[in-house]
Structure 1
Amino acid sequence: MAGFVGTGKKIVAIGRNYVKHAMELNNPVPSEPFWFLKPTTSYVTAGKPVIIPRGVDEIHHEVELGVVIGRGGKNIKSEEALSHVAGYCLAFDMTVRTWQDKAKQKGLPWTACKGFDSSLPVGSFLHKDLVKDPSNLTLWCKVNQVERQRGSTSLMIFPIPQLISAISSVHTLEEGDLILTGTPEGVGPVRRGDVLQGGIEELDVKVEFQVE
């Protein structure tokens, strides 16, 4: 059932959708949307810990707005894209940055560094009627009560309708699928014992996870 985050068959994560985030990691700013997939075993919900993979000292937080698909489709037009949305959620695309750096150097996929178990902490589902303007929301992230990230979805390079259209030209979107829309600048490490918090300012949404 769409509306429950974690029920979809796939998670589509957009890369480098904020200029300053691309720049902080010395990555080129994309001229068109690109994405990778995370497995559904990535999901972890509030009250459950984020587990750092064995042999890894730290992982990086990337706070994002998640888009939950309510009505599936193929080759969806941008002007019709939001009618396929059931709602939204706050999400973190957790990343083993050292693994990602090695993968990029060798031209390898990001599956391990982005898709390990518990690499996608998510908050509660927000019905689209509660979100008047998803293109103008302030996302924030704190680690141990210290703010690390704060940015507006208005700064996305590719807005949500364009993302849905681009993705659906390649993958049929299905009810419950989740799209991660990219992260603003300020990403950084979390370690075992840290408390990770994120929120959406305008909606007074907050979610917290313990890192283990």
Structure 2
Amino acid sequence: MEEMKYKNYDIELIRSRRKTIAIEIHPDLSIRVRAPLRMPQYRIMEFLEEKEHWIDLHLEKMRQRQESNADQTSRISISEEEIKQLTELAKEVIPQRVAFFAAQMGVNYGRITIRNQKTRWGSCSQAGNLNFNCRLMKMPPEVLDYVVVHELCHRKQMNHSRAFWEEVEKVLPDYRVTRQWLKQNGR
């Protein structure tokens, strides 16, 4: 591996038994060039000059992605104290909503568990035990109701078939709007 300079870029050059030259832009904004063993330095420099616009474009995209990820991380991170408060609130609110909709739908359920989950809003086991994310307490009430109804519908259909979505629609005719909101804002 060699280090080389091109304009204001530090480039890592890797020569190997290959026939073509390629550029890689890494998430840490480093630039790597892979080149054939015998390719002369001037040809590598010509290639970099030809691809200068491409390099700038991809570096900028990578910077924007990093900024976006940093924004998301700062929005998502909440303190342990807030998680405890959300969990306590969820333990009061969610069982009431579950009981209300279960009676309306004519389904039974097992245990209700509240957790701080990274990727799921809720789940339903084969035994009918329900899990909910404490972060639902930060969502609009219609989103909480949608997640509750969604999980209770799994007591009738343990899948996401057309029949499942018909069950959801019976209880929440406009569930698509809430589902879309959750997809866009729930991360």
Alignment TM-score, normalising by the size of structure 2: 0.26
More RCO (CA 8 Å, sep 6+): 1
Question: Could you say which structure has the larger radius of gyration?
Answer: 2
Greater helix share, 1 or 2? 2
Greater strand share, 1 or 2? 1
